[in-house]
Chains A and B, each alone.
Chain A
Amino acid sequence: MKAETEFFKSLSDETRLKMLWLLMAKEEICVCDIMAVLDITQSKASRHLRYLYRLGWVTDRREAVWVNYRLSVAPGSPEDRQLKLMADILSSRPEAQALKARLEQRLAAKGQSREGAAVCRCF
């Protein structure tokens, strides 16, 4: 039953929980956005994202020096059901709503500064 334990462990960390919550709101997110919104270091963000990647929660797409992540959860799978349950719980939490708002702000600001360029200019 070790595999099931690992499965439930994914959401047992606050940073990973927040990451999955943000990823549910957007199609794809760059590591730099996650760093900015959660106010964590690049090494912490990448470590947790690689963890989620190894367990099959997300896929990655490299863009220059940055890596973009998106959810890769099959509809109806245990992962999908757990995410829905998490979203149910979090949707009424002000802290979770504030995170989503911060992500929107961040993406809006980035969109203006990049002026339509297809590359991520994060700093």
Chain B
Amino acid sequence: MRKEARFFKSLADETRLKILWLLSGTEELCVCDVIDVLGITQSKASRHLRYLYHLGWVTDRRDGLWMNYRLCVPPGSPGEKLLKLLKEMLASQPEAQALRKQLARCLETKQHTECARRRKSSQKMSLQELPET
């Protein structure tokens, strides 16, 4: 039953809890967003994101120097159910709401930064790659 304990351990760390909370409110996050919003070092952010990656909570997408992460919990899976519980618990939490707001601000100001420019250009590229219907 070690595996199951490890599954619950994903949320037993405040940083990972916050990361999952942020990811559950947006499609994709760059490591740099997590660093900015949570005010933690790059090594700490990457370590926890890799932890979540290895346990199957998130998938990654490399974009130059930075890594982007998004949730990958299939509907009806234990992960999705646990995340739903977390979201309900945090929905009325001022601290959790403040984090979401901070993330929104961070993504807005980032529009002019290098990371966001890259993101835009990669979006354009992926649009061009779509087959014409």
Contacts and interface: CB of A to CB of B under 8 A. Distances in A.
Contacts of B95: 1
24 contacts: A1-B14, A1-B90, A2-B14, A4-B11, A4-B89, A4-B90, A5-B12, A5-B17, A8-B12, A8-B86, A9-B9, A11-B12, A12-B9, A17-B4, A17-B8, A18-B1, A21-B1, A78-B85, A78-B89, A82-B82, A82-B85, A85-B78, A89-B7, A93-B1
Given A1-B93, A2-B14, A90-B4, 6 more contacts: A1-B90, A9-B12, A17-B4, A17-B8, A78-B89, A85-B78
Contact of A12 (B5, B88, B90): B5
Q: How many B residues touch the partner, as a band?
A: 20 to 34
B78 A5 contact: no
Interface secondary structure of A, over-half rule: helix
Contacts of A85: 78, 81-82, 85
Contacts of B78: 85, 88-89
Interface residues of A, number: 27
A12 B12 contact: yes
Interface in A45-98: 78, 81-82, 85-86, 88-90, 93, 95-96
A8 B1 contact: no
A11 B17 CA distance: 14
Nearest to B15: A5
Interface of B: 1-2, 4-9, 11-14, 17-18, 21, 78, 81-82, 85-86, 88-90, 93, 95-96
Interface of A: 1-2, 4-5, 7-14, 16-18, 21, 78, 81-82, 85-86, 88-90, 93, 95-96
B12 A96 contact: no
Nearest to B78: A89
